[in-house]
Amino acid sequence: MQHDDARYHIPVLLERSIELLVTDPAGVYVDGTLGGGGHSRLLLSRLGENGRVLGFDQDDDAVQFAQKLFAGDARMVVVRSNVVHLSDVLHQHEIPSIDGILLDLGVSSHQLDIPERGFSFRFEGPLDMRMDRETTVTAADLIARSTEEELANIFFTYGEERNSRRIARAIVQARTGRALKDTAALVDVIAGASPPVHRNKTLARIFQALRIAVNDELGVLERTLAQGFEALRVGGHMVVISYHSLEDRIVKQFFRHEATTCVCPPRTPVCVCGKVARVKMLHSKHIEADENEIRRNPRARSARLRAGQKIHA
């Protein structure tokens, strides 16, 4: 199923995610990562006239696109904000609880395909990578200010890059002669410090690592999962689509913790922690895109969907 919004960003696992998300056609739902609005558009089609959707995005391009896409639908509220501010926004709108929250993580196709955003090593442009362009620190700033050890840690932790130290050393050496302000300059340095056989994968990992660091994506994810779950009413659903192991690990561990009862040490004769399970997983394993979807949208290949129902306050 594709809509006009597919020209901005093709939504991944569209039908399945909305099917899992909706529990009440008159409920209040949060799309925490609005992007091109594909998930919200299908979500609204499944809701009645009393349903409501708050769509969050910190990217001005996405906000402007969504405002045009949903113009005239009073059920849709487009929020220009990082979803990490969810609790404050719900309070401002006097919404005590929500029926579901969807998070489609990572970077949008639109962001990747716009050279001046600097997200992709495939295009020449400034080393920006800010999802919210009102923030101050760009990828170029990070590269200019970080020590060799800090860069190596970023590449290893957020990109899982085995040659992180060698690449960090090459960047520090290169920046003494010239500022690395554009993607082409960074690509040249990385290419000179990595074997050609897997160069594209190395470039993808380094650019991913810088993007995550610039936008604090993993910290934002952890805080958003906690806020979103607290905002859910009992019976409400949380649906999360991740695209790499770092994100998926955080989501998996969050759900596992909330689905666990006693966490006392194994030899404790009687439970003293009082922990109760607050989540029932809607699937025992994660859900992946099928081959038909992957053929239509190769980005779906790495997608992992996890979903849970809140069963205890």
Q: Is 179 helix (H, G, I), strand (E, B) or coil?
A: coil
Confidence of residue 3 (pLDDT cuts 50, 70, 90): very low
Percentage of the chain lying above the pLDDT 70 cut: 97
Name the token pair of 271.
């439970």
Residue 37 is predicted with a pLDDT of: 95
Could you tell me the strand order of the sheet in which 279-281 lies? 76-80, 52-57, 28-31, 98-104, 232-242, 304-310, 279-281
174-221 pLDDT, tens digit per residue, is 999 899 999 999 999 999 999 999 899 999 999 999 999 999 999 999
The rounded distance, in Å, linking the Cα atoms of 23 and 45 is 14
Judged by DSSP in three states, 12 sits in coil
Query: Quick one: pLDDT at residue 7?
Result: 56
> Are 199 and 188 within 8 A, CB to CB?
no
What count of other Cβ atoms lies within 10 Å of the Cβ of residue 179?
Answer: 12
Q: What is the 3-state secondary structure (H, E, C) of 243-306?
A: CCHHHHHHHHHHHHHHCCCCCCCCCCCCCCCCCCCCEEECCCCCECCCHHHHHHCHHHHHCEEE
For residue 24, pLDDT over 50 is answered with yes
Ordered by where they begin, the domains of the chain are 4-104+217-310 (3.40.50.150), 113-215 (1.10.150.170)
Q: What is the pLDDT of residues 229-241, one digit of tens each?
A: 999 999 999 999 9
Give me the residue label for tokens 């009082």.
274
pTM confidence score = 0.94
CA distance 97 to 86: 11
Task: State pLDDT tens for residues 255-312.
Answer: 999 999 988 998 899 999 999 999 999 999 999 999 999 999 998 999 999 999 999 9
Lowest mean pLDDT among 1-5, 38-42, 162-166, 267-271: 1-5
**Average pLDDT value over all residues in the chain:** 95
**Other beta carbons less than 10 A from residue 28's beta carbon:** 25
pLDDT digits (tens, 9 = 90+) for 29-65: 999 999 999 999 999 999 999 999 999 999 999 999 9
Give the integer Cα–Cα distance in Å for 89 and 81.
Answer: 9
Most confident range (mean pLDDT) of 1-10, 223-232, 266-275 is 223-232
| Pairing, β 76-80 against β 52-57 | parallel
Residues contacting residue 263 through CB under 8 Å, at least 6 positions apart = 273, 275
Q: Confidence class of residue 108 from pLDDT cuts 50, 70 and 90?
A: confident
Give the span between the Cα atoms of 253 and 286, in whole angstroms. 13
CA 87 – CA 99 distance, rounded (Å): 14
Phi, psi (rounded to 5 degrees) for 217: -65, -40
Give the pLDDT of residue 106: 83
For residue 126, give the DSSP letter: B
Compute φ and ψ for 258, nearest 5 degrees. -70, -20
Q: What DSSP designation does 312 have? A: -
The mean pLDDT of 10-26, rounded to a whole number, is 96
